[in-house]
Structure 1
Amino acid sequence: MTIKEKQQQLIEDFSFMEDWEAKYEYIIDLGKSLAGMPAEKKSDANLIKGCQSKVWIDAEFKDGKLFFNADSDGILPKGIVSMLVSLYSGHTTEEILSSDFDFISKIGLQEFLSPSRANGLMAMTKQIKFYAVAYQIKS
């Protein structure tokens, strides 16, 4: 499944939910499925700056694709980062760099988040793109 197809599926999933309470619960449930990270990966190098909660994202380049691992100490940010990991993990750097983050506005996530959480979300998306650029240069 392409990133665009995954984004479209997420948009459709959110469209079935009528209120933000249901969407909020869905995001939290996504976080519960996140495997988490080993303690040694929860380093300052992997810490996302600008997040209200602590959020860590790490990437591994394997067989021409990037695989993301993430965790957070907050339930909502953990759900958000889980959503990003599921969308972008397992894709090539080219696919990640050519993708957009329009799905965020299409599901209304930025409107729902406080300004500091919205800044954290943008910091997470920038980090994913940063890893794609870094690994594209290395490969």
Structure 2
Amino acid sequence: MEHAPLVASTHPVWASAEVAAAARADQPGAVIRHVRQAAGLTLDQLGSLYGCSASTLSRIERGQPPVDQIGVRRRLARLLGIPDELVGLAPRPTRCACSAAGSTSRYAAGRSTRRRSEPDETTHSAHRSWCQRSRSRRPHQ
């Protein structure tokens, strides 16, 4: 279950020169540090929320491993509300418009290996049918 990000999308940190410079320089750790500080969190507090020690977060913010791991970047970015692009990741996939259950769709995200062009209505109709069948096979939660 995803929680609300710790830093709102309207926070002034997103327009700061420091965050923009760190993102341009491909320094995801520096972006994470600036956003953490803008949220008013200490390394200990963020570590507690993230599930690691303050020393591990300090290494991440200084650009040392495990900041090179995509899962670490993505999880910290989601926790803090950082757009993936600012920490050197591809944008988050879109949700399939025809899926009420909200499953991520390779088709809707434009990553389908079968289609290289814009899908036509027939293709989308077939995809919509597939989504509905998939939803009906999922266990109830």
TM norm structure 2:
0.28
Q: Of the two, which has the highest radius of gyration?
A: 2
Per the normalisation by structure 1, the TM-score is 0.29
If each structure's helix is expressed as a fraction of its own residues, which one has the higher value? 1
Q: Which structure dedicates a bigger proportion of its chain to strand? A: 1
